Structure 1
């Protein structure tokens, strides 16, 4: 099944009124709009040709660069991921050739993916989509996220079910 957001329309750009930005609710009940959040944080979002990435966070310039040619869904997920780097104050560890820096970089990427997936896909929306979807692809299309973000969110959801809050003590 093809949806309009699956098209490889190279001129599509996120906007504040784009339904892709406003459809999936955040945990707070408000729709999560990554572009609006970037503006609230005073970040600049620009487009460029990126050979090896969908997006890039440049902390020194408070800039997020999105790759040209992404679908609206890819842009939304990439922007949400980069926003997490910005909000956490992450730095670019890829330019440092040291094993510790590479490990730290992988951790930053994993944390950004997890936080972005939680913002992009509420528990209620995830549960609703997984009730009827026949595949990850179909669920991702309904949730308007990439399959990667859906898989990250599913892993977090399973972990939440397996590890109940142990901080609450009865009595």
Structure 2
């Protein structure tokens, strides 16, 4: 994915370019509500002062702690991310004294971001926003996600398109 800038307004414009290949299904229907999903899973959500993070998954208590300083959009994205950790059974790798713990932790974070982005932004909604949005900020506001989640979803979308192109060539 690349972006270009409008020379006058210096606005990042959305465009999709680049390789990779991963086709993953997404949820359809009503917009995804991480609050409803947490309730379905029997998880507890608490708000607290968090200075170094937006949210934490605490597996031993089936609890997600969310920073109380977040906007509704930030909380939605943080909660969706933490729900993915909960559903996958992820654990906190920071206290583990092993060389691969840091790598494993990064992989868990990346997987949680990708799964959350898929749930938060359907392909149809992404394509609709991309038709008119002139910036990541505009598209993210329309989709009610953070720019980070939008960028993650755009990368996945680009990968899916590349995979489809590869299938057409090979098929």
TM range (shorter): 0.7 to 0.9
Moved over 2 A (4+): 164-167
Q: How many residues align?
A: 145
What is the CA-CA distance between 1:98 and the residue it aligns to?
2.6
Q: Name the SS for the 1:163 alignment partner.
A: helix
Unaligned runs of 5+ in 2: 1-25
User: Could you say what the CA RMSD is over the residues aligned between the two structures, in angstroms?
Assistant: 1.9
Residue of structure 1 in register with 2:109 after alignment: 109
What is the CA-CA distance between 1:165 and the residue it aligns to?
9.0
Deviations 1:93-122 (A, max 9, x none): 112233201100000000000000000000
TM-score (norm. length: structure 2): 0.80
Q: Name the SS for the 1:164 alignment partner.
A: helix
What is the CA-CA distance between 1:140 and the residue it aligns to?
0.2
What is the CA-CA distance between 1:30 and the residue it aligns to?
2.5
Hey, what's the Cα distance between the residues in 2 that align with 1:154 and 1:65? 28
Higher strand share: 2
Of structures 1 and 2, the one with the larger relative CO (CA 8 A, separation 6+) is 2
Hey, what's the Cα distance between the residues in 1 that align with 2:134 and 2:72? 23
Unaligned runs of 5+ in 1: 1-25
